[in-house]
Structures are given as structure tokens and as C-alpha cells.
Structure 1
Amino acid sequence: MEIVSILSLIEGYRKKEFSPVEITKMYVDRIHQCQDLNAYITVTDEIALNQAEIAEKKYCANEATGILDGIPLSYKDNLYTKGIRTTSGSKIDEDFIPKEDALVVNNLQREGAIQLGKVNMHEFAFGITSNNPFYGPVKNPWNHDHSPGGSSGGSGAAVAAGLGIASIGTDTAGSIRIPAASCGVIGLKPTHGLIQAGGVKHISWTLDHIGPLTRTMDDLAIVLEAMTGKQYTTSLKEDIRGLRIGVPKNYFNEGIEENTARLYQKALQDLESLGAILIDIDIPFSPDDLALSFGIGIAEAGFVHEESIVSALDSFGVDVKASLEHSHAITALDYIKALKRKEQLTEQFEQLFEHVDVLATPTTPITSQKIGEVMVEINEMMDSVFNTMIRIPAVFDLTGQPALSIPCGLADNGLPVGLQLAAANHNERILIHAGYAYEQAFLKSFYEKRNGLLEKT
């Protein structure tokens, strides 16, 4: 399969070198050939080919004006799709068929995106492994014994394995960036509220975000433009001389596995070699603050799933059931205190971004673990895989600032490692600028290795 980007597809369509129907059929066929990855719950073959025929007619008539006309992508299965079952990776909603599209789906369809189907995920987005008890585990394309991360694991696996140009996921405690890092692709959690959240099966309306996963930075900028109606491709610039990059002196650099730490330090050196200025900075965050995201998320999830908790508690998977059972133990006072501290943290990080343009951290402290693993040891300390994987990315779900995960190499175990870049609220453009400059200078070899996955999967 030839590696393509959104721009190359659009150029090929306009030059009549190939058609949207041919490309869409290629992706649909590949999805069916790669069923062992278990990336998709529902493949919408007929819908995709019908949409491709419409796009083809537009190109033939020179009337293709949508940003994504003829571009095949997928949606996480907690995003509503009209007339197509939306399971949220659960048994409870296995037969749920929405009457309307989610707002983000509607926006992308309006720009001409082709819907390949609905991708697998951790049940109700309530975990970071995508080891789904009802639809089976999603497998990491780099090593099928390992998790692709979660909860948007199907999105990460699908994009890495070439089962769609892009995928749209959700992120409550890292659920876009963890799969992006685990699968060696790019994932963006935008500023909270930038992407309208109508038509989404929430965990927590306070913490939930919607965002894209793509193979390249230019694809990310294009998809984000289609999602928001704002311009981002003008930020695809390679010159980052003078860019102030914050290097954390605490929290984000603690408890990091050796391979991840090494590649993170190499990425910082690479950014500095491009002319960025590295600035050591104190982080206004502690493990006690991280616990707030649990309190807010679980309390709000208890409200969202209140009816099912009462009537169908045993229909939840074991891990989700345990979390939801705890939801009613969170007091109103604890919930309000957590929200107030969230406001303080958001302001403190905004003040931090007055001194640096971008904050650079590892995306996760470790690479993805084997499917079924629940505990991990780092530097002779044991913790759960869940707590470990969310420890870094969940910070920016709590504060709401945008955060990007971009690959920064392969660990000794052959699995990808992610570099996280964060910025002030509504400053996605600086993340795209920094990420693109880093990608163009340093990721060619990594992308060549990732392209080899297309032959293996």
C-alpha cells in the first residue's frame, strides 16, 4: 500500500491520477484484511463507497470545495453517527443507534470526509488499554502482544496501520495522546471546548475533549481546520529559532522509565539544535492534584451512567463497574473543592505560559504494556498501568490547555515513545508550528520504520 497524505490525495484527485472511489475501496479492503488488529467495531463499507461516489462526481465537475472531500477517516465509537450503531465499546449500548450525528461528525461530513466506520475503544472510554471485554482487545500494530493505549486505542491502531488517513478520538485523562504515543502517530487534545462536544457519550463534561489522530503534522492541521473552521495550516513552519521551550524541573520528569527518559532528553537537544531556547521551569502540580481528576471524572460519570448503575450494574466490565460503584461515595463538597482547585491550576499554568511558549514533557512515563498487564515497575517502584500512563497527560485535561503528542523514537523494546508539547489556552498554532519543525527535521527515519508496519499488518 502506498503511503499517502491528505494533500497528496487531494492533488491526485484533482489531476485524475486516481479517484475517491478507488482510494476508499483500498482502505475498506485493507480494514477487512487487518481484522486481527481488532481496530474497528463497525465498518461502514456501503456508506463510505456512496460518499466516495459523491466526492468523485465533485472532482469530475471541478466542484470539490470541502477541506476533506474524498478523505477517508474513522470515528471513535462514542461519537454519535446517525443511523449507525454507536456502542461506546459497551454491552449496555451495543444496539444504540443515534438519530443524529455528533457535531464534530457533522462538521467533518460537511467538509467532505468519508466515514470508514467506528473504531474500537476502552469500554465507555473508561481506561487506557482498550482491552475491551465485549469486542475484544485492540492490538498495537508495532507488536500485537501489546496494548495500543486507550481509550482511543482503535483510533491509534487504525491510523498507525493505515486503516484510514485519520481518526477522531476523545480524551479525558490522556485518551488521545496515550494511543498516539503508544502507536507512533500524532494526537492532539485541543483547548477544552474548542471542539463542540454535542453528540458524545461522556465520561466527564468537565474533562472531556475531542481531537484528531493523524500520521503527520500537516494532516493534523488540515483535519483541525475542518473540525473548527479556523486556520491552522499557516502554522506549518520549520523555523523555531527563539521559541521558548519549558523544561520541567519537577513532576513531569519524575518516575520515567530509562528508555523514555533518554529519548525525551534527545528530543530536547534536537529542539535546541533548531534554535529553540530551553528554559528550566517549576511546575505548579503535584500527585495530590492528579487525584482531583479522578474525583471530578468519576463523580460526573456516576451522573452520566446513573440509570445504568441502578438497572444494569453487572452489564459493565469489571474495571468500569468498580469505578462507577465508587462514584456515589464522592461528596458534593469534595467535588466542589476539586472544581475550585481546577480553576486555580488552570490560572497557574496560564501564568507559566507567560514565561515559555511551549512546555515539553514525555507523553507517558513508559511505553505500552502487554495486553492484560495491570501493574508496572519503574525504578523499583510498582504502580498500576492506569495510574502510570495517565500521570503526565491527565494534567492538561484538568487544566484544559492544548497538548500534542508526537513520536520521538523507538525504545529498545521496539515500541514508540511520545513527546508531549503543551501551550496556553487556544494556542494550538504554536504546537503545530513546533511539532511540524521537529517532524520535518527529525522524524523521516521514524516514519520510514512506521511505514514498514503496512507490510506486516
Structure 2
Amino acid sequence: MIKMAIKELVDGYRSKRFSPVEITKDYLKQIKAADRTFNIFITVTEEIALNQAEIAERKVMAGDGLDILQGVPFSYKDSIDTKGIRTTNGSLVDKNRIPSKDAKVIKILNDVGAVNLGKTNMYEYAFGITSDNPFYGPVRNPWDTRLTAGGSSGGSAAAVAANLCMGSIGTDTAGSIRVPSSCCGVVGLKPTYGLIDMKGITPLSWSLDHAGPIARNVTDLALVMEALTNKPFGKSCIPDIKGMRVGIPKQHFNERIAVEIRQIYHKAVLEFERLGAVLVEIDLPFAAEALGVASTVATAEVGYVHKDRMKSSINLYSDGAKKVFKTSQSISSFSYIEAMNKREKMSHQLTELYNYIDVIVTPTLPAIPTEIGANEVQFPEEREDVEDCMIRFTCLFNITGHPTLSIPCGLTDKSIPVGLQIIANHHREDLLLRAAFTYEQTALLDFYSKRDMIFSNEIKEGGD
């Protein structure tokens, strides 16, 4: 099984230690062995991947300069348009849809040499925060196949975790990159709102939608961001956070939370302090309103996005989607405008805090990933709807548009990953990457080794 970082892979091509075609064939073999178990891919693009790998190989043999992601195996959430490749949105409505153009993000990555291994499974039209797809089956968490991989970009996160690609692009409207990244033990970034072009990506809620990368480690994530933005994010991977002011919320992010997650989060915070960060308690009283604001905005907008499809194909949607549409039609213009006004105020309030801090650190999720099909999460004091629970700590930052990263911070007693969420001011992805990289270098090397070992064994057994 291939175990290397993106830079190491591309450097290996340059020195001709291995070839893009060989690596691509190995990844396609791994997908074939593992995907019967995990149900990660809706479409595997073997022929296209090999053609792209051959282009990279010709550049290697000719001694041409290699691009930043030349020959690097990628996957893409199936809501992202790929020219000539079926793009289903995880739906029956679009089961035979073949776009005539690439989404902007696909074009950028194609231009820097990425190899497209396929399109990943997702919640139908990204309507939910799991990946329990009624048409293509649920994405199974590679750490425990009984559990959800999170969503809606669950296939992307699971593919990266199981090393069925080296990076993936997902979308995030209320947590849909960070939630599955936490569930699957990988690194996922929701950049500043608008930083990554959404053209060619089927919208869920245009006011809240973000696109971003998922990778196996912070340096890989930084390289993908560098490719997407043409900004030198690789230079942000410096193991130094001495004097960095880290905001620790007094409320909301420590309420209704699983005991194990609280303990692992507390340990991570102490590690930041040990590394030289200055911990600063902060007030986020407005965070409690985030779930209601996000729900109103997203539900109102999704009905509008699907108004034409509903007229022609309503019977092809799942019952869950039809329920969302019914709710959407009941939201008044007053409620929508009020929610948008609250959004603007929240963004301003959060931005003000960065006069006193550099980043904020919270748990990514309040609960451990649920079993596939579960509708509720049980806390000691109450039950909570799984959709509300899974986005309770993430959706605020879609409302405000601040860049947010989820990185693993440990394992539960049952060896299920727990995620740490780091939030910076608008367009300060460099601080996110530096904080995450520093933490990773001291706290996560054993975690990564264990992840590699687990999935090496699982894929080997799947191919026997």
C-alpha cells in the first residue's frame, strides 16, 4: 500500500523512483479491493485516470518540469461537475447527467496535473450531514463500517482516510467537509467564504456553500490549497506557535458534549499551551443562535435552487428531500431576511474577537459518529436530532464565512477518531495551517501510523 505525502510522491516522479502510471494503477487496485466494503465511490474513472497518468509520465520521461500536483491521485464529491463524467449529486434525478464543462475547481486541479480516480458518494444533493444515501447506499466509516462517515462529503473523507486517493474536494454548507473529516480521522478545510470558486458545483445554499480540500495531513492540505489559490500556503507549515493567542470559548462548545470528546479536546488544548500558545477565554454568546440561522437560510435557499427540478422530477427525490422542500415553502421572506441580518451581525461579532486572538480552538463534533441510519444522539440529559447535533459546533462558521479546519486530535476507547476545529479570521488560512501543522508534528504522528496500519490490513484482506 502506498504511504507517502504528496510532495514525496511528486519528488519520486522527478527522480524516476516510480511512475505516475504505476501509482495510479496501484490506487485503482486499492479502490477495487476496498470499495466493496466502504461504498465510497459512485463512479470510478479508470480510463480517464490512466490517460491523465500517462500525460504525467510523458512529462517525467521528457524531463519537463512537473506541476505541483502532477500525477497525484484525487477524487471529487459527486456534486462537482466533471466534463464527460457522470455527476449524479447522489440523486436519481441526475443519475445519467454528464456535464459538458468542468467545474472551476476541477479545471484548476486538472491544469496542475491531478489524476481523477472518480466521483465520491454523498448525501442526496448534500441535504444532510450523514452520507446515508437511499439510492447509492451509505458511505461506511473505514474505522468501523457500522458507523456513519459523516456527510455530506462522506465519500471524500472516507476515500482519503482509507488511502483510496491522496486528496479530495468536498463542499461545506454547515459542516460537510469538517464533519466527515472528524468522523474519518483526516484533515479538512472550509476556506474563507468565496475563496474557492463554486462555479460548476451544484449549490445547496449559495449564501453558505464553500468548497475545500480534504487530505491525510496538513502539508498535503497546504499544497492542495496552494494549487487552488496560487498562494504559498506550503510556507505556512512551520512548527512554531509560540505566543499565538488561542481563543477557548466559555460557552456553547462545551455544552451537550460526549465525555470522551470533552476529555480529548481538553488534552489537545493543553498541548497547544505546552507548545507555547497563550490560551485566552472568549465569549461567544451568539453561537447558540447559529443553528437556527443556518437552518432558515439553507432551507429557504434549497427550495429555490430545486424549484425547476421539483416541477419535473419530484417523484425521483427521497422522502427526506421532499420534507425539506415542504419546510422550505413555509419560510417567509421576513424570516429569511431576519436570518440574513443576524448572519451579518454574527460575522461582525466574531471578526471583532480577532483583535485579541489569532485562532479559536473547539471540538469539531459534540458526539461520536452514530451508527448508520440513526436519527438521534443520546446525551446523559437528553436526546438530540442527529442532523442538529452534528452541525452544532460547525455551522456558525458557514454563517460568518471564517476559514475553519478540522484535524484529528485522538481516538476514543473504541478507536474512533475525534476532531479538533481551528478557526481563524477571514483570509488567514495561513494561521490555521501553522497552528494545525505545529500540533500535528507533536501530537499526531502515532495517530497517522495507526491509521496507515489499520487500512493497509483492511485493504490487503479485501483483495485476498
Q: TM-score, normalised by structure 1?
A: 0.99
Count of residue correspondences: 457
Q: Is the 8 A contact 1:284 1:348 kept in 2?
A: no
Q: Is the 8 A contact 1:251 1:285 kept in 2?
A: no
User: Which residue of structure 2 lines up, in the alignment, with residue 31 of structure 1?
Assistant: 31
Secondary structure in 2 matching 1:361? strand
Q: Is the 8 A contact 1:260 1:366 kept in 2?
A: yes
User: Which residue of structure 1 lines up, in the alignment, with residue 21 of structure 2?
Assistant: 21
Aligned partners of 1:101, 1:295: CA distance in 2, in Å? 31
Cα distance per residue 1:112-158 (max 9 Å; x no partner): 10100100001101111101000011000000111100000000110
Aligned-partner residue type, residue 20 of structure 1: P
Q: Is the 8 A contact 1:298 1:323 kept in 2?
A: yes
**Identical columns (%):** 48
Cα distance per residue 1:61-99 (max 9 Å; x no partner): 121331111101000000000010100000101111111
Matches within 5 A, 1:46-445: 46-445=47-446
User: Which residue of structure 1 lines up, in the alignment, with residue 11 of structure 2?
Assistant: 11
Secondary structure in 2 matching 1:34? helix
Secondary structure in 2 matching 1:146? coil
Q: Is the 8 A contact 2:73 2:165 kept in 1?
A: yes
Q: Is the 8 A contact 2:291 2:388 kept in 1?
A: no
Distance apart, 1:5 and its partner CA: 1.1
Aligned-partner residue type, residue 454 of structure 1: S
User: Which residue of structure 2 lines up, in the alignment, with residue 456 of structure 1?
Assistant: 458
Aligned-partner residue type, residue 456 of structure 1: E
Structure 2: unaligned runs, 5 residues or longer: 460-464
Secondary structure in 2 matching 1:289? helix
Aligned partners of 1:235, 1:338: CA distance in 2, in Å? 35
Q: Is the 8 A contact 2:130 2:151 kept in 1?
A: yes
Cα distance per residue 1:338-367 (max 9 Å; x no partner): 111111111111001111100000000012
Distance apart, 1:167 and its partner CA: 0.5
Aligned partners of 1:206, 1:273: CA distance in 2, in Å? 38
Aligned partners of 2:289, 2:445: CA distance in 1, in Å? 40
Aligned partners of 1:99, 1:141: CA distance in 2, in Å? 33
Secondary structure in 1 matching 2:286? coil
Q: Is the 8 A contact 1:407 1:416 kept in 2?
A: yes
Q: Where in structure 1 do 4 or more consecutive aligned residues deviate above 6 Å?
A: none
Q: Which moved more, 1:224-233 or 1:420-429?
A: 224-233
Q: Is the 8 A contact 1:405 1:420 kept in 2?
A: yes
Secondary structure in 2 matching 1:404? strand
Aligned-partner residue type, residue 21 of structure 1: V
Distance apart, 1:321 and its partner CA: 1.8
Aligned partners of 1:26, 1:245: CA distance in 2, in Å? 42
Aligned partners of 1:68, 1:391: CA distance in 2, in Å? 34
Kindly report the root-mean-square deviation, in angstroms, between the aligned alpha carbons of the 2 structures: 0.9
Aligned-partner residue type, residue 447 of structure 2: F
Cα distance per residue 1:295-315 (max 9 Å; x no partner): 110111101100122332232
Distance apart, 1:409 and its partner CA: 0.4
Secondary structure in 2 matching 1:105? helix
Aligned partners of 1:418, 1:8: CA distance in 2, in Å? 26
Distance apart, 1:285 and its partner CA: 1.8
Aligned-partner residue type, residue 26 of structure 1: D
Cα distance per residue 1:417-446 (max 9 Å; x no partner): 000000100000000000000000110111
Aligned partners of 1:125, 1:354: CA distance in 2, in Å? 35
Secondary structure in 2 matching 1:116? strand
Aligned-partner residue type, residue 458 of structure 2: K
Aligned partners of 2:444, 2:197: CA distance in 1, in Å? 32
Q: Is the 8 A contact 2:38 2:140 kept in 1?
A: yes
Q: Is the 8 A contact 1:41 1:118 kept in 2?
A: yes
Aligned partners of 1:445, 1:151: CA distance in 2, in Å? 28
Aligned-partner residue type, residue 381 of structure 1: E
Aligned partners of 1:284, 1:3: CA distance in 2, in Å? 44
Aligned partners of 1:199, 1:164: CA distance in 2, in Å? 22
Cα distance per residue 1:323-343 (max 9 Å; x no partner): 112111111111111111111
Cα distance per residue 1:254-280 (max 9 Å; x no partner): 111000000000000001000000001
Aligned partners of 1:58, 1:2: CA distance in 2, in Å? 22
Q: Is the 8 A contact 1:190 1:209 kept in 2?
A: yes
Q: TM-score, normalised by structure 2?
A: 0.97
Q: Is the 8 A contact 2:75 2:169 kept in 1?
A: yes
Secondary structure in 1 matching 2:86? coil
Aligned partners of 2:105, 2:23: CA distance in 1, in Å? 23
